[in-house]
Amino acid sequence: MHPAVADAGAMTGVEVVAAFATHLELDRAMSPHSVRAYAGDLRHLLAFAERHGCGWRDVDLALLRAWLASMVGEQLARATVARRGAAVRSFFAWALAEGLVERDPSARLVTAQPGTHLPEVLGVDAAARMLEVARAGALADGDPLAVRDWTTLELLYATGVRVGELVAVDVGDVDRSARLLRVMGKGAKERVVPFGLPAARALDSWLEGARDRLVTADSGAALLLGVRGRRVDQRQVRALVHRAALAADVEDIAPHALRHSAATHLLQGGSDLRSVQEILGHATLTTTQRYTHVTPERLRRSYQQAHPRA
């Protein structure tokens, strides 16, 4: 039994949620964001159970089905309902393995799969315009924060990394000569991602003068710094992406849209699906395949060129 797990008979709902969160963080190496989401999903179930007069050990399949039905009735997004179902299945599988419950009430629980919502992407021209406006602004006044913003945008688009992965990058994770970026992905899986010449030029501008103007005793090895010299966080990156989209007069996007755009444009340019999977750090090819839905013209051309009866 995991050391964080106490006697099942004495554990409150708050305690079991905390123990489950510890398991996700230490044993499954899930990201802090995913841990918070799964813990929140479990708390949502336990609150529902409490309203129906049940403790967490009394949850059964009928209550789980009623819980899911209540969320459908509230018209929650399919992805939210699917994630909550997955979180609860993970919880009961863990609780059964730890001997906290005698049976897994979620074993026969069926939840709807997330919808096939196509990811939001920028067109190639719009992405280029946003990056060019950021570059021009950074070079015009030499403001280190403007150079940082330009570098951040270039790296997000060039590598397709997640925002959380990028803000965790240290200076030593950048191989400037080979144009490679080392990131730690989901499940503590490390991968190395290439980037192109425009991103390399932005990095040169950042590392050869601009970053030094923001460095403080709190900077450590962080690649990207904020105004007080500390490592930037995801909130700051979201804000700078929104500012950049507004300045370039393109569709307002979230940072993750640059990841989607990178994947889509790689496929449109002829990259194979497995290479894109490696670049994005997807655990399965199925996740990457959704990007083929936004590039039908590329697939049609490939079919017509390759199939003998096209």
CB 55 within 8 A of CB 11: no
> Is 242 an active-site residue?
no
Phi-psi region of 75 (alpha: psi -120 to 50; beta: other; left: phi over 0): left
> Is 78 an active-site residue?
no
> Is 282 an active-site residue?
yes
The candidate with the shortest Cα–Cα distance to 241, out of 104, 306, 148, is 148
Residue with tokens 């997955």, as numbered in its chain: 86
User: Which amino acid makes up residue 110?
Assistant: V
Alpha helices (H) in the chain, listed in sequence order: 13-26, 32-51, 61-73, 78-97, 124-141, 144-159, 163-167, 197-205, 234-248, 255-268, 273-280, 285-289, 296-306
CB 255 within 8 A of CB 152: no
> Is 186 an active-site residue?
yes
From the list 84, 211, 259, 265, the catalytic residue is 259
From the list 28, 57, 182, 186, the catalytic residue is 186
From the list 191, 242, 256, 290, the catalytic residue is 256
> Is 23 an active-site residue?
no
What is the distance between the alpha carbons of residues 133 and 250, in angstroms, rounded to a whole number?
11
3-state class (DSSP) for residue 75:
coil
From the list 38, 148, 260, 291, the catalytic residue is 291
> Is 256 an active-site residue?
yes
From the list 162, 231, 260, 265, the catalytic residue is 162
3-state class (DSSP) for residue 111:
coil
Longest dimension (CA), the chain: 69
The candidate with the shortest Cα–Cα distance to 250, out of 102, 122, 101, is 122
The residues annotated as belonging to the active site are 162, 186, 256, 259, 282, 291
